[in-house]
Amino acid sequence: MNGTGGVLTREDILKLLGNTPPLVAEAINLGEQLQPNGIDLTVREISAFESRGNITEGNEGRQLPRTAALPFDAHGGVDLEAGAYLVTFNEVVNLPLNVMALGRPRSSLNRCGASIHSAVWDAGYSGRSQSLLVVYNNQGFRLHKNARIMQLVFMYTSADVGRGYSGKYQHENT
C-alpha cells in the first residue's frame, strides 16, 4: 500500500514482521499481542521520577529527570499510587521509512483509572521505547510485568520519508 497512506492491517503487520529487522522484535506473546490494526506493547520496567526535567528552546538545554526502577514483587506486580511513572516496553520497534506509529492506551487500562501517554513514533525510528503512565485512580493501580498496556497503531506514509528519525532516542534501551 506504500504511496497512498493508511492504517496497517493485521496482514500488513505480519508481512513487516518478516523484514530484517522485523517491524517489532522481542514480543512476549505475538499471538495475543497482534491486533487487527496494531500490536500491544508490554511492560518490561516501571520507574518513578526522582527529579524534575527541563526542556528549552534548543535540544542542548534538554535534561531528562532521574528515575528509579520499581521492583516487581514475588507475584510479578507492583502497587502504584496515583501519579506519573515511566514505562519501558519489552518490544523493540523498527519502523521502515514508509511507516510511522501512534501509541494508544488499551481500554482496560483506562477503565482502571490509568492511562498511557506517548509521542509520535517517526518513520525510521528503532528502539525499545518508553512512555508515560499516569495513575489517575486515587485508590491506586496494580501493574504486572509483561502486561499489555498500549496498542501501537502503524500507518503508511504517503511516500518514504527522505530522512528517517535520527534524534536522541534512536536505538534507545537496546
Per the CB < 8 A criterion, the answer to whether 26 and 92 are in contact is: yes
* Domain spans, the chain: 6-51+63-156
113-161 tens-digit pLDDT: 999 999 999 999 999 999 999 999 999 999 999 999 999 999 999 989 9
The C-alpha atoms of residue 156 and residue 82 are separated, in whole angstroms, by 36
Does residue 2 register a pLDDT over 90? no
Q: Kind of pairing, strands 38-49 and 6-7? A: unpaired
Phi and psi torsions of 151, nearest 5° = -105, 125
Q: How many CB atoms lie within 10 A of CB 101?
A: 23
Phi and psi torsions of 90, nearest 5° = -70, -40
CATH of 6-51+63-156, one of 2.70.40.10, 3.60.15.10, 3.40.640.10, 3.90.1150.10: 2.70.40.10
Can you tell me whether residue 30 is helix, strand or coil?
helix
Q: What is the DSSP letter of 91?
A: P
Q: Which residue has the higher pLDDT, 84 or 158?
A: 84
pTM for the predicted model, two decimal places: 0.93
The C-alpha atoms of residue 172 and residue 174 are separated, in whole angstroms, by 6
